[in-house]
Amino acid sequence: MPGTNYKEPLDSWWPQRLGLQPNDPDILLADGFEDALIGYGTRYMHGVAVYSKSKCLEILMKRDGMSDEEALEYFEFNVTVADVGENTPVFLEDMAYDD
């Protein structure tokens, strides 16, 4: 399975999807994980896309038929290790809160 591809520059659907205007047109997006995109942020003054790790794993399990273990292994070895420069996306470790 190939690693994650990053689209550049920022796609035109961004503002409509999130209701946000990113401050950096060079933000890179993780191809295939559009439904896991939860926002954007900055890292060292560079705009970055922010994704939910748990949603990314769900996508791999549903879309690609992976088990939870396979999805985690694939994600850690093919997605999070990708460094495509200053605008590399961030994958947020989701926190669970007990009510």
CA 4 vs CA 28, 45, 61, 96: distances in Å: 12, 24, 15, 26
Asked, for residue 77, whether it belongs to a domain, the answer is yes
| E strand or H helix that includes residue 16 | helix 14-18
Q: What is the pLDDT of residue 2?
A: 47
User: pTM for the complete prediction?
Assistant: 0.73
Q: What is the pLDDT of residue 16?
A: 45
Asked, for residue 97, whether it belongs to a domain, the answer is no
**What pLDDT digit, counting tens, does each position of 36-84 carry?**
999 888 888 778 899 999 999 999 999 999 999 999 999 999 999 888 8
Asked, for residue 99, whether it belongs to a domain, the answer is no
If you write DSSP's letter for every residue of 41-73 in order, what string do you get? EEETTEEEEEEEHHHHHHHHHHHH---HHHHHH
Instruction: Give me the domain span that covers residue 25.
Output: 6-92
φ/ψ of 85, rounded to 5, equals 110, -165
Query: What is the longest distance spanned by two Cα atoms in the chain?
Result: 40
Please give the tally of structural domains in the chain: 1
